[in-house]
Amino acid sequence: MKNFLALILTLFLGFLIMSSLNNNIAFPKFGEANIGDRVSDAYIDRDVTENPGDVIFGETDGLESGPANIVTAIVADYRSFDTLGEVTVLFVSALGVALLLGTKKQKRLEIDFHPNFMLRVGSKALFGVILMTGIYISIHGHLTPGGGFPGGSMIATSMLLLYLADDNFRAKVKGFKILESIAGSLYVLIGIIGLIIGGSFLVNILDTGVIGELFSAGIIPIVYVLIGLKVGSEISNVIDNFLTEEGA
Amino acid sequence: MLQYAAIVLIMLGLYGILTQRNVIKIILSLNIMEIGLNLFIISVGYVTDGIAPIMTTNHNTNSLIYVDPLPQALVLTAIVIGVGTTALGLAIAKNIYSKYGTFELDEMEEE
Amino acid sequence: MSAVLLIAVPLLAAFISILNKKLAPVLLLLVSLFNIVSIFFYSLGTITIGGFEAPYGISLVLDNYSLIGLIVINIAFFLVLLISYEKVKKVATVLLVALAGLNGLLLTGDLFNLFVFIEVSGIAAYLISTTNKKYVATFNYLVIGTVGSSFYLLGLIILYAMVGTLNMSDMALRISSEGISAANLSLPFLFMFIGLGVEAKLLPFNSWVKGILGNSNKLVGPMIASVYAGTISLVFGRILTSVFVVSDRLGLILTVILLVGIVAGETMAFASTKLREILLYSSIAQASLVIILFLEGITGWAVMMVIANVISKLVLFAIASYTSDELKTDEVDNLKGIFSKNKIIGVAFTIASLSVSGLPLFMGFVVKMNVLTSIFDGEDYLLAAVILLTSIVEGVYFVRVLIKLWYNKEDAKTINYNFVIKYIVSVLAVLLIVFGTYTTVLNDQVETVNEVFEIGGNE
């Protein structure tokens, strides 16, 4: 009976959404979005503070926001404050996992699977490659798809590999905590420095360079590396907390 | 239509949350709902024949037709927040299991 | 100085505080004090972040509306910390994040940024509620909270697709200039309303409240019922007054939902025999009432009602949770006569509960009087009747509880309340009387709040 009511409710709600979106002339049909009417237009043309004219990859310099990846320009520059909030969400949930699961004396969870020699050695060889890719993706977030969040997750994946391939492995959680704390504090401090020098929080205080070059976009690569390190250490912490239990 | 598929996913997730009594299944339903929502966000910014909003040597000017980059930035935030809530939910689930020895909400003794 | 420091400093402190567990509670108190003091030095206006003007960048809005909210919420937050200091130690970092999130909610002028801060403060709230050790209740809270914020996000995205902006004032401007009909806006606004309604404890969406507040300890009770509830009500008020365009049909649906919330909340409070449950059902009714006032456009007095609720709920939940922490029960019958042994606590509790039910001399009375006058001016007699009726019901069940708690009995249990809670609740109770008798302060504040929305709103 309860399931039936839930079914009726969800069907009704779904029908309500679909029909009213369908009848809504102001809501653009799929693929017909008019970006010219939206704020995103200014993000593509980079003309929020002043109009730079045509933006050409590899030539235009000194833009208000320098990343060639427009999504990165929004995430780490135009709406950087959201990203700070998002980093905080991940920070506080990782902290919560540690609060809920962490006790002082921990040992690895007993799993009914013991990796053999080949797996242990092979995973150590792969570990470096995955770690480097993660860092590469974090650093190139302003040029290519990717950035601090995927890069950080990849760093955490390399840690997960070590955990899975070696049933005695424990990472140095204390080190992760210090890394996480420093990276987070630096992010906020960069914002406050921007407030003091540039007059508003998280303002881009460095030269934005030529669009499309590795050393461009001012503080964005720095911020993304910090985010990468922070996300990597937080998720590694979460992995450690889930794979350990109380014991000697 | 991608938007309708997204709404179907959201409603599937909602149905799961309303009917399931297993902690892990509820978390899974939440994730399905969030995925549907993320898909919906992305679909709102799609422009027919638009290209990914990244400038490269091939697409080297701002006068091309790009898809709307803002929903893609928003979805990144939404995904990360979803990861955070899922991790927290699973940690609470682990605590519930060690306290009651079950994941079924109905089998737990009322406190 | 820029008001963004109200968010940035707690965040910085939170990131630093995980390095040293002993330092964290001290840091928390210092930062909370810093916030209270620094509020008085910021100049009003819009604060851009990242150097990009609104609507392109995110902007914070510090006007008289958010200023009042910031002052009240930051002070209330600090008082809750003092009351429950020994509980605070384990979750100090979480509380720092919660402080940043609450200030962000009050300040932000961007609808998506609001979603981020709902999640920041929400996740902090889930963690604060784990100090109750009722994990199933926390799990329900997490699931319902996440569904609520997802609904808010869904509504927001539909709105973005239609209007093309995320900034609150720009949104209102574009809606009126592009002439989007109110009927087309109903769906996104309904979803945003439901999403925020979950956080604000409105009745049809409130099933998490009982598990969290019905078992609350002295940190969770005042923090969620007073500080969080006040903040969310103010956020609701800002969105209803400066963004929403409510069509007649949507307005009717929302009013009916809220009226059901009021009536059901009061009925359940009347039927309950547990102290914390009575308080929590009463606060559900109060939350719905405040939202109705915002919906009817009585903004100034609605803000005053939020403030009155923050003060009185802080007193009520601090005392109720402290008492149940000590005695391990909150059945009113088991608590008979406790106030006869603790007169100061008893008087403060009495004043706060009478103020909530709207007896003369207290702040709640002044607020309700003025609200009723405005409603009669608008000739909405049904609403006025509901408010009057609920006031009577509130009066009955609060007096019933008070008689039992004051009833002089020889074997009444004695509780040692520490001097911090005694001191704080009596100061707050005096404050309720001061505002209740010396009403010019309230009238002035109402004027300044109303001015904000006449100039900046979309009237």
The mean per-residue pLDDT over the stretch C291-314 comes to: 87
- Best probe of the A interface among B48, B70, B90, by most A CBs < 10 A, is B70
Q: How near does any CA of chain A get to the CA of C105, in Å?
A: 11
- Best probe of the C interface among B81, B86, B111, by most C CBs < 10 A, is B81
Answer whether B85 sits within 8 Å of C146, measured CB to CB.
Answer: yes
**Best-predicted range by mean pLDDT among C4-8, C103-107, C384-388?**
C103-107
Question: Within 10 A of C45 (CB to CB), how many other CB atoms are there?
Answer: 13
Any CB–CB contact under 8 A between C378 and chain A? no
Q: Over 50: is that where the pLDDT of C63 sits?
A: yes
Confidence grade of residue A103 (pLDDT, cut at 50, 70, 90)? low
Nearest to A10 among B11, B60, B92 (CB): B11
Task: Identify all chain C residues contacting A89, using CB atoms and an 8 Å cutoff.
Answer: 116, 119-120, 123
Nearest to B47 among A35, A43, A56 (CB): A35
Nearest to C147 among B17, B84, B92 (CB): B17
Q: Over 90: is that where the pLDDT of B27 sits?
A: yes
Domain containing residue A29: 2-33
A72 & A29 share domain = no
Longest pairwise C-alpha distance within chain C? 72
Nearest to B2 among A11, A30, A68 (CB): A30
Distance CA C433, CA C360 (A): 10
Answer whether B54 sits within 8 Å of A14, measured CB to CB.
Answer: no
Nearest to C187 among A17, A91, A95 (CB): A17
How many folded domains does chain A comprise?
2
How many folded domains does chain B comprise?
1
Answer whether C90 sits within 8 Å of A27, measured CB to CB.
Answer: no
Q: What percent of chain C has pLDDT over 90?
A: 11
Longest pairwise C-alpha distance within chain A? 66
A228 & A122 share domain = yes
Task: Identify all chain C residues contacting B77, using CB atoms and an 8 Å cutoff.
Answer: 112, 116
Question: Within 10 A of A34 (CB to CB), how many other CB atoms are there?
Answer: 11
> Contact C404/C332 with Cβ under 8 angstroms?
yes
Q: Is B59 within the bounds of a domain? A: no
Neighbours of chain B (3+ CB pairs under 8 A): A, C
Nearest to A78 among C52, C93, C180 (CB): C52
Q: Is A50 within the bounds of a domain? A: no
The mean per-residue pLDDT over the stretch C300-312 comes to: 88
Confidence grade of residue C104 (pLDDT, cut at 50, 70, 90)? very high
Distance CA B42, CA B58 (A): 24
Q: Which CATH number goes with the domain that contains B88? A: 1.10.287.3510
Which residues are CB-contacts of A74 (< 8 A; sequence separation ≥ 6)?
A40, A43, B69, B70, B73
Interfacial C residues in 169-198 facing A (CB < 8 Å): 178, 180-181, 184, 186-187
Domain containing residue B72: 2-48+66-107
Nearest chain A alpha carbon to C175? A26
Q: Is B60 within the bounds of a domain? A: no
Nearest to A42 among C56, C180, C186 (CB): C56
Query: pLDDT (tens digit, 9 = 90+) per residue, C31-61?
Result: 998 988 988 888 888 888 877 887 888 888 8
User: Nearest CA to C6 among C70, C92, C86, C87?
Assistant: C70
The mean per-residue pLDDT over the stretch A100-111 comes to: 73
CB-based burial of residue A136 (10 Å sphere; 0-12 exposed, 13-18 middle, 19+ buried)?
middle
Q: Is A148 within the bounds of a domain? A: yes
Q: Over 60: is that where the pLDDT of C283 sits?
A: yes
Domain spans in chain C, listed from the N-terminal domain onward:
5-456
Q: Over 90: is that where the pLDDT of B30 sits?
A: yes
Nearest chain B alpha carbon to C156? B41
Q: Is B91 within the bounds of a domain? A: yes
A26, two tokens: 């102001």
Helix or strand (DSSP H, E) at A130: helix A117-139
Answer whether C164 sits within 8 Å of A189, measured CB to CB.
Answer: no
Q: What percent of chain C has pLDDT over 70?
A: 96
The mean per-residue pLDDT over the stretch C325-342 comes to: 77
Q: Is A54 within the bounds of a domain? A: no
Any CB–CB contact under 8 A between A36 and chain C? no
- pLDDT given for residue C444 in this prediction: 81
Confidence grade of residue C231 (pLDDT, cut at 50, 70, 90)? very high
- pLDDT given for residue B13 in this prediction: 92
What is the Cα Rg of chain B in Å? 19
Q: Is B42 within the bounds of a domain? A: yes
- pLDDT given for residue C203 in this prediction: 63
Q: How near does any CA of chain B get to the CA of C45, in Å?
A: 26
Q: How near does any CA of chain A get to the CA of B99, in Å?
A: 12
Q: How near does any CA of chain B get to the CA of A237, in Å?
A: 11
Q: Is B25 within the bounds of a domain? A: yes
Q: What share of chain A is helix, strand, coil (3-state, %, to 5)?
A: 60, 5, 35
Any CB–CB contact under 8 A between C57 and chain A? yes
